Chains A and B, each alone.
Chain A
């Protein structure tokens, strides 16, 4: 019996240790997840300059405007370092030097771009510097170059002086996209020497580098995709109305609930009370403040308004309350582009008389001269200039949908 037990035990153990089916088996094949390789660690060209034995430097030839030497006194590391002395004059338009960086082998900086920097040690011969007058260029194999400069955030203690100081130039500051440089195929590092300098440089290398600053994408632009758009309904954005200097223009308010015109002092009341802003104009072209004849307001709180989707099918619309519509010049102004300012003089085709004292004005955007050349993504403001003695109220500014004849927008009303 003992023998049998032994036999069973041995066989059981053999079965247990030999049988694969005892192991946990996944239902599906799995790909083994390796820990992601650090692209910096595997990058083979971390050293750019260590000393004259180890690193290739070009552009060393002495020139009346520059002197670049291997200096062996007070090195940071290695047997020597670079001593750069230069002064840019009219006779020497380009001064610089370059580093062969891995003997010109192609370098793919793409995986390092966001988290690495070119770092070097620098000291001056005398004085303190917050700027290093050098422009660093990465050039690719097609000869294109992108540039960056060391700024104060990259300087150890924010200064360059006679001590060896560490300086970092994040790769992310090179404008490679703009310059069309192939960052995956970098050939060399160049240094362009600006103005005047006398500096010692050593131990140029690529290092891991992170900073907390972002590149944001704010455009300060509001895109308007539909009509109508109410305009000029917050007085704090208006200009030209200042009773301390002129009583030609005064704000009043107008609403269904408030029958009589009431002057409001609190800017913030207007939107909440749903009252629309109205301007009372009492202008005398013979008066001493006759030059005070303009007012205006922005499309988008003095930021940019993108009207590119709506401008071609829109018209400026407002009402004038008075005995007649005076001569008014309207300017539409953009922040950028050429022209930045287009204008129109109101004419009878823009006017529909609603009752004895009320006129509605329609000014198709297409009726402004050169409207097609304006940068409609960066529209700024509307300006109104009163060109003759008049007394009226102007109110209810809107950009409305309009698909009629730009030269005679009111013919259907008439």
Chain B
């Protein structure tokens, strides 16, 4: 009898889940006098999204409703998103000329299209699917415009087999030539996705100046990228502190994303996770140990309209021997120097400090291409106080970067770093 009931329970659960999973959302775009609006199952759907491959639960808790992934290779992420009731802007990875893809090679072009068609057919009915993101930054350092024919062929195929989800292609920053090419070659693309960092300040002006007439989504945004950063005298990129970056994120969301409800259907902040891009902390809203930074708090404020009950500390300034992080800091081997960091406690009673030294990477890669993380270096701590650390620089000539991490008892963190050079003697 018990076995019978267990079987009934299993069958009913399977029926329940299969009925839920079989429900594809119908996503449409409507244009009214006040502008464009996205609808999901006939309800207005403003995208409060994050570029993310993990920490989905936190996206939901923070008030987000969507995630963006860059490729369909990890389709299990759609299931994870569904678990947290998040929609997915699903990327279809299209080969980039800068990574060696040759759009004059018809064999490879055809193969790429056929492969993506298979993936589209496989995933088109997934209930968490919101939008197809065809290609990411295929326009970065490109000169073969045939790539737009591939984008169109895929978009056209989607229109044929999947009437439920709009198509989008994502470009690296706005440019009149790209807008022209997409309008000319890709009529089946419904939405323009723009990855904009420093240039977000002019995005809603440029989208109009360059003549894009359909809606757009800010598919990547955040702090100014390493490619936009100032460098010091030896070429090390100057990274703002987490506190400065958090303020910048907040301002950008309020002014430039929420500020254009006429054409902008929403956004995906970058990066709800961690990656090495010039440094380990530049774009990531999480640290490599999985701790969230104050950028996550900022997104909760942007999405929910209120700060989380418990907030991360916030490092505003970092200095070496009294000179701020934008200056050239040059020391002799093994010199004892003083690192100072100024931060807001944000009502945290107990804070924990960590200091990590790395060699400078000098990466010149762009467009989010893979960069190798350097190995941490040992160093000698002389004296640590609540807002300073005295330490010895390495006994070897070279270029270095010192990081300071502060976290509260629930691991909400803030980070800042400062580059320095060690010379002889």
CB atoms of A240 and B209 under 8 A apart? yes
The answer to whether B143 and A335 touch across the interface, beta carbons within 8 angstroms, is yes
- B180 and A302 within 8 A (CB): yes
B115 touches A292 (CB 8 A): no
Residues of B within 8 A of A244 (CB): 208
Chain A residues 141 to 177 lying within 8 A of chain B, measured CB to CB, are: 151-154, 158, 170, 172-173
Query: Which chain A residues (372-414) contact chain B, with CB distance < 8 Å?
Result: 378, 380-381
In the complex, chain B residues 187-219 whose Cβ is within 8 Å of any chain A Cβ? 202, 205, 208-211
Which of chain A's residues have a CB closer than 8 A to the CB of B102?
Answer: 215
Return B176 CB to nearest CB of chain A, in Å: 4
A158 to B111, CA, bound (A): 10
Cβ contact within 8 Å between B177 and A151: no
**CB-CB nearest in chain A for B209:** A240
User: Which residues on the B side are within 8 Å of A294 (C-beta)?
Assistant: 209
Query: Are A239 and B210 within 8 A (Cβ)?
Result: yes
Interfacial chain A residues near B202, Cβ < 8 Å: 291
Q: For residue B211, which residues in chain A have a CB less than 8 angstroms away from its CB?
A: 239, 242
A355 to chain B, nearest CB (A): 33
A153: contacting residue among B111, B176, B205, B208, CB under 8 A: B111
Residues of B within 8 A of A242 (CB): 208-209, 211
Beta-carbon contact of B205 and A291 below 8 Å: yes
Could you say which of A172, A296, A304 contacts B143, with CB atoms under 8 Å apart? A304
- The CA-CA distance from A216 to B202 in the complex, in Å, is 38
When A237-B180, A239-B210, A303-B145 are in contact, do A153 and B114 touch as well, CB less than 8 Å? yes
Contact between chains at A152 and B107 (CB < 8 Å): no
Asked whether B177 lies within 8 Å of A153 as measured between CB atoms, the reply is no
Cα–Cα distance between A303 and B184 once the two chains are bound (Å): 12
Nearest-neighbour CB distance to chain B for A240, whole angstroms, equals: 5
Binary interface encoding of chain B residues 262-300 relative to chain A, with 1 for a CB under 8 A from any of its CBs, else 0? 000000000000000000000000000000000000000
Q: How far is the CB of A208 from chain B (nearest CB, A)?
A: 16
**B118 to A213, Cβ gap below 8 A?**
no
Contact with A along B103-147 (1 / 0, CB 8 A): 011111111101100110000000000000000000001111110
Q: Is the CB of A211 within 8 A of B107?
A: yes
Q: Which of B105, B115, B119, B177 has the most CB of A within 10 A?
A: B177
Q: When the two chains form their complex, are residues A215 and B177 in contact, meaning their CB atoms are under 8 A apart?
A: no
A-B contact count (CB 8 A): 88
Q: A221–B144 Cα gap in the complex (Å)?
A: 9
**Nearest Cβ distance between residue A226 and chain B, in whole angstroms?**
24
CA distance in complex: A216, B179 (Å): 25
Q: How far is the CB of B27 from chain A (nearest CB, A)?
A: 25
Contact with B along A324-336 (1 / 0, CB 8 A): 0000000000011
**Residue in contact with A302 in the complex, picked from B108, B111, B181, CB distance below 8 Å:** B181
Is there an interface contact between A216 and B115, defined as CB atoms closer than 8 Å? no
Which of B114, B119, B181 has the largest count of A CB atoms less than 10 A from its CB? Answer: B114
The one of B115, B143, B144, B177 in contact with A130, judged by C-beta atoms closer than 8 angstroms, is B115
Is B111 in contact with A215, judged by CB distance below 8 angstroms? no
Cβ-defined contact, A220 with B145, below 8 A? yes
Residues 297-335 of A, flagged 1 when their CB comes within 8 A of B and 0 if not, give 010001110000000000000000000000000000001
Q: Would B110 and A213 count as touching, CB distance under 8 A?
A: yes
A245, B102: Cα distance in complex, Å:
39
Name B's interface SS: helix
Residue A218 is within 8 A (CB to CB) of chain B in the complex = yes
Q: Measured between C-beta atoms, what is the minimum distance from A47 to chain B in Å? A: 25
Enumerate B41-77 residues with CB–CB distance to A below 8 Å: none
Residues in B neighbouring A292, C-beta threshold 8 A: 205, 209
Task: Determine the interface band of chain A, counting residues with CB < 8 A from chain B.
Answer: 35 or more
B114 near A152: Cβ-Cβ < 8 Å? yes
Min CB distance A174 to B, Å, is 12
Contact A215 B106 (CB under 8 A): yes
B180 to chain A, nearest CB (A): 5
Q: Which residues of B contact A304 (CB under 8 A)?
A: 143
Q: Which of B109, B146, B208 contacts A218 (CB 8 A)?
A: B146
Given A242-B211, A245-B208, A336-B143, A151–B104 Cβ distance below 8 Å? Answer: no
| Cα distance A218–B111 in the bound complex, in angstroms | 19
Which residue from chain B places its CB closest to the CB of A244 in the assembled complex?
B208
Interface centre among B110, B115, B209 (most CB of A within 10 A): B209
Across the interface, which residues of B come within 8 angstroms of A214, CB to CB? 106
Determine the distance from Cα of A218 to Cα of B105 in the docked complex, in whole angstroms: 10
Query: Hey, which chain A residues are within 8 Å of B104, CB to CB?
Result: 215-218
Within 8 Å by CB of A215, from B105, B119, B145, B176, lies B105
Q: Is A12 an interface residue (CB 8 A)?
A: no
- How many whole Å from A214's CB to the nearest CB in chain B? 5
**Distance, CA A173 to CA B114, complexed state (A):** 17
Bound-state Cα–Cα, A28 to B68, Å: 77
**Which residues of B are found within 8 Å of A130, using beta-carbon distances?**
115, 118-119
CB proximity of B187 to chain A, nearest CB, Å:
15
Q: Which residues of A contact B144 (CB under 8 A)?
A: 218-220
* Bound CA–CA A303/B211 (angstroms): 17
Chain A nearest CB from B169 CB (Å) reads: 16
**A151-B108, A217-B104, A240-B209 known; A296-B145 Cβ under 8 A:** no
Do the beta carbons of B106 and A298 come within 8 Å of each other?
no
Asked if A103 is an interface residue, CB under 8 A from chain B, the answer is no
| Shortest distance between the CB of A338 and any CB in chain B (Å) | 10
Cβ–Cβ contact B177 & A380, under 8 A: yes
A370 interfacial by beta-carbon distance below 8 Å: no
Once A158-B118, A237-B180, A291-B205 are accepted as A-B contacts, the answer to whether A216 and B143 lie under 8 Å apart by CB is no
> Does A192 belong to the interface (CB within 8 Å)?
no
Contact between B143 and A153, CB atoms less than 8 A apart: no
Q: How far is the CB of A96 from chain B (nearest CB, A)?
A: 20
Hey, what's the 0/1 contact readout for A255-295 against B, CB within 8 Å counting as 1? 00000000000000000000000000000000000011010
Tell me, in angstroms, the Cα distance from A72 to B84 when the chains sit together: 46
Candidate in B108, B109, B112, B143 with the most chain A CB atoms within 10 angstroms: B143
How long is the Cα–Cα vector from A158 to B109 in the complex, in angstroms? 15
- Which residues of chain A have C-beta atoms less than 8 A from B209's C-beta? 239-240, 242, 245, 292, 294
List, in ascending order, chain A residues with CB within 8 A of B112's CB.
Answer: 151
Choose from A158, A217, A221 the contact partner of B114 (Cβ within 8 Å).
A158
Question: Taking the complex as formed, is A357 at the interface, i.e. its CB lies under 8 A from any CB of chain B?
Answer: no
Query: Which of chain A's residues have a CB closer than 8 A to the CB of B118?
Result: 130, 152, 158
Find chain A residues with CB under 8 A from B111 CB: 151-154
Distance from A330 Cβ to chain B, minimum over Cβ atoms (Å): 15
The reply on A62 being an interface residue by CB < 8 A is no
A158 to chain B minimum Cβ distance, whole angstroms, is 7
Q: How far is the CB of B117 from the nearest CB of chain A, in Å?
A: 9
A244 CA to B205 CA, complexed, in Å? 12
Interface membership of A225, Cβ < 8 A: no
| Complex Cα spacing A389 to B118, Å | 56
A339 CA / B211 CA spacing, docked (Å): 26
Contact status A131-B110, CB under 8 Å: no
Given contacts A220-B144, A292-B209, A378-B143, whether A302 and B107 have CB atoms under 8 Å apart is: no
Which residues of B are found within 8 Å of A216, using beta-carbon distances? 104, 106
**Is the Cβ of B180 less than 8 Å from the Cβ of A153?**
no
CA distance A131 to B74 in the complex (A): 13
Which residues of B lie under 8 Å from residue A291 when comparing CB positions? 202, 205
Min CB distance B192 to A, Å, is: 14
What's the nearest-Cβ distance from chain A to residue B124, in Å?
15
Binding site for A on B (CB under 8 A): 102, 104-112, 114-115, 118-119, 141-146, 176-177, 179-181, 202, 205, 208-211
The contact sample of 7 A-B pairs, CB cut-off 8 A, is A151-B107, A154-B111, A213-B109, A217-B104, A240-B176, A245-B208, A298-B176
